[in-house]
Amino acid sequence: MSYIEPVKNYLLELQNRISTAIAKEDAGCQFHEDEWQRQEGGGGRSRVLTNGLVFEQAGINFSHVYGTKLPASATAQRPELAGCAFQAMGVSLVIHPLNPYVPTSHANIRFFMAEKPDNPPIWWFGGGFDLTPYYGFEEDVVHWHQTAKAACEPFGKDVYARYKEWCDKYFFLKHRNEPRGVGGLFFDDLNQWDFDSCFAFMQSIGDHYLSAYLPIVKKRKALPYGDRERDFQLYRRGRYVEFNLVYDRGTLFGLQSGGRTESILMSLPPLVKWRYNWQPAPGTPEARLYEVFLKPKAWV
């Protein structure tokens, strides 16, 4: 059975579909596309939109890399695979909006296959999506999680709850003792079902991303904002940078596997601020983000 081709075809189609929808939402702004090759094997196709009317930066990356030895980040949870030949492919995207009332969003779906001589290949899927608002709207977060739940429901009643909890735990900045945002879904090492069922689940996650995110964008992108909101957005983006550079397994895998640095770090926002020991004033919309939204809970 060929595992690689059907997954690769789906991922390339998904990249096309999402980049077309995001460009359309931004009044037809176009993505810049780069195709790149990895010296050790494989390559990818990166698409980045910058300085749009709606999105300050949107990056949507497809990669398919392979080699003779899995990087350490890929075997941390599965040490028995150390030294295996591998193939890894996925679509990863991060959307940084211009308007502070529109949340940043991230999605990633991926497929790994490891092989040892004279043994059948070992494969697994991973991915998910999560939302990082700067100013919270409960109806937006509920919609996001309702869509995430709908993506999971055909695969079991407990799937959403398990992967929602995993997302809350994964996208957590331990050194800040706070979540990155309001969560969503996260799963990894998925091979408990047969291949077709696991692949179908990965596709369901990918297929539900636009219906989870675009309605929020449409509702909030024209809200008026000023310097205060913009300043807070840039400050909160600092948390995004901290997570991606300190904890994110995808970033670590890309760097350890010799991937293209520009494509790996396209998840970082174009502008960001840090300030020493800043705290929001009580009773402000900025404080409400911490008090209401940066506390994992059941949204649906």
Contacts of 257 (CB under 8 A, 6+ apart): 38, 40, 65, 67, 71, 74, 88
Q: Exactly one of 64, 106, 143, 208 is catalytic; name it.
A: 106
3-state secondary structure of 11: helix
Name the residue among 126, 230, 128, 222 with its Cα closest to residue 181.
128
* Mode of pairing for the β-strands spanning 122-132 and 85-97: unpaired
Q: What tokens were used for 268?
A: 């970082």
How far is Cα 37 from Cα 275, in angstroms, rounded to an integer?
39
145 annotated as a binding-site residue? yes
Name the residue among 80, 22, 10, 17 with its Cα closest to residue 48.
22
32 annotated as a binding-site residue? no
How far is Cα 242 from Cα 216, in angstroms, rounded to an integer?
25
Can 208 be counted among the known catalytic residues? no
143 annotated as a binding-site residue? no
How far is Cα 18 from Cα 129, in angstroms, rounded to an integer?
14
Number of Cα atoms under 13 Å in the Cβ half of residue 164: 23
DSSP string, 196-221: HHHHHHHHHHHHHHHHHHHHHHHHHT
109 annotated as a binding-site residue? yes
175 annotated as a binding-site residue? yes
Handedness of CA 248, 249, 255, 261 (dihedral sign): negative
Q: How many residues does the structure list for the chain? A: 300
Known binding-site residues for substrate equal 92, 108-110, 258-260
Residues with a known catalytic role: 106
Known binding-site residues equal 92, 96, 106, 108-110, 145, 175, 258-260
Known binding-site residues for a divalent metal cation equal 96, 106, 145, 175
